[in-house]
Homo-oligomer: A and B are copies of this chain.
Amino acid sequence: MSQSGTAGFLFDLDGTLVDNVYDHVLAWKEALDALGIELSVWRIHRRVGMSGGLFINALLRETGVEITPERNEEIHRLHAEGYARRSAHVRPLPGTRELLATLDERGVPWAVATSGRRVSATLTLDRIGIDYTRVPIVTRDQVQHAKPDPDLFLAAAERLGIEIRNAIVVGDSVWDMLAAQRAHCLGVGLLSGGYGTDELERAGAYRVYEDPRDLLRHLDEVGVRGR
C-alpha cells in the first residue's frame, strides 16, 4: 500500500501570524519619504511580502525613480529602523498561539517562511514567543529569490523533512499564494493582512479564512485530523 507522506504547514509570518502589516507599510512609507520617493500607501500595502528586488522594480515603474544598489540598501536600512521602532507594540493575531499549540499537540510539523530579513523577523518572532531554536525559520537572507518565487517554501519543507506536495502554505498576501502555486502545494489565504477574499482566491487560495483563530476552527477543511 502506498503512503501519502506527512503533511505539514508552512506559515508566512507578517500579517499571517502577527498583526504587523500596517506597521511594515508605514515603515516603508517613511523610508521612501525620507529619500524623496512619493508612492501612495495602498501601493506599498499591495507589495508587502514580495521580494525586495521586485519591489524596487515596481518602484521604478511607478515613480520613474532609478534605484541604485546604495539607495536600495538605504531604503531597506530605514525600513528596518522604522519597523524596529514600531515592533514593541506588535501583537500576535487572534488564535496564533492556540493554532501552533494545536499543531504541536497533534504532531503536525510546521515552519515559518518569510520574505523579511532575519533582523526584522527575529524582532517579530520574539513578540509571539516562537522558539526559533526549535522551529525551522527560513528568512530572505537564506534563499536566492523571495516570494513569489517558491524558494522560501521549498527550503522550509526541506527543513521539516516533508515533501513539498504535502505542504500547506498559509499566507495573507497574493505573493504567498503565487509562491505556493509555483511550489505545487496547497495555498490557504488569511484576510488578516488586509487583502480581500477574491484577490487571494484568484492568486490560487484553496480556502480563505479570517485569521489564525478562524483557520484553527476549520482545521478539518485543510485535512488535519484529530489525534
**A interface, CB within 8 angstroms of B:** 19, 21-22, 25-26, 29, 33, 38, 40-42, 45, 89, 91, 93-94, 191-199, 211
Q: Is the interface of A mostly helix, strand, loop or mixed?
A: helix
| Contact of B198 with A40 in the complex, beta carbons under 8 Å | no
With A22-B25, A25-B22, A41-B21 known as contacts, the answer to whether A196 contacts B199 (CB < 8 A) is: yes
What are 19 residue pairs bridging A and B, where the CB atoms are less than 8 Å apart in the complex?
Answer: A19-B40, A19-B41, A22-B22, A22-B25, A22-B26, A22-B41, A22-B45, A26-B26, A33-B89, A38-B91, A38-B94, A40-B93, A40-B94, A42-B192, A194-B194, A196-B196, A196-B198, A198-B198, A198-B199
Chain B's closest residue to A42 (CB) is B194
Closest to A199 in B: B196
**List of B residues within 8 angstroms of A94 by Cβ:** 38, 40
Residue of B nearest to A93 (CB): B40
